[in-house]
């Protein structure tokens, strides 16, 4: 019984000190690529900074590694099309001058056309 109690305390201590891996920052020309992680080690977010501001495309992932959002920034301001996924729908948000200009929701059963540029 005493051994079981000691084992349980050790397991709780290890669990309490487990934490997400530290973020990774890598220089890419004038940008800094950042990768943040969930507690389970999966990537939570990836994107770039320019002069300390969010800049370019940022992608977010859930705990299983599935993409949940794509966002775009220009010198810390929200720009362009953002996409948010959940189990039932895709939400497209257009930003102009750091403000929401338009929102479109795509639900399961709606036709979605994906076009690639040549």
Tens-place pLDDT, residues 40-99: 999 999 999 999 999 999 999 999 999 999 999 999 999 999 999 987 889 999 999 999
- The predicted pLDDT at position 112 comes to 56
CATH number of 21-107: 2.20.110.10
Q: Considering Cα of 51, then 81, then 58, then 97, what sign does the dihedral take?
A: positive
Q: Where are the domains of the chain?
A: 21-107
State how far the Cα of 60 lies from the Cα of 22, in Å rounded to an integer. 16
State how far the Cα of 65 lies from the Cα of 24, in Å rounded to an integer. 17
For 19-34, b where at least 16 C-beta lie within 10 A, e where not — what string? eeeeeeeeeeeeebeb
Tell me if 108 sits within 8 A of 89, measured CB to CB. yes
């Amino acid at each position: 019984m005493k051994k079981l109690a000691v084992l349980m305390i050790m397991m709780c201590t290890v669990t309490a000190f487990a934490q997400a891996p530290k973020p990774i920052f890598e220089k890419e020309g004038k940008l800094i690529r950042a990768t943040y992680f969930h507690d389970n080690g999966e990537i939570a977010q990836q994107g770039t900074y320019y002069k300390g501001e969010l800049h370019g495309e940022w992608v977010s992932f859930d705990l299983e590694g599935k993409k949940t959002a794509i966002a775009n920034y220009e010198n810390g301001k929200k720009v362009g099309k953002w996409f948010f996924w959940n189990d039932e729908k895709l939400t497209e948000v257009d930003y102009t001058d750091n403000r929401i200009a338009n929102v479109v929701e795509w639900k399961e059963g709606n036709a979605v056309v994906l076009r690639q540029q040549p």
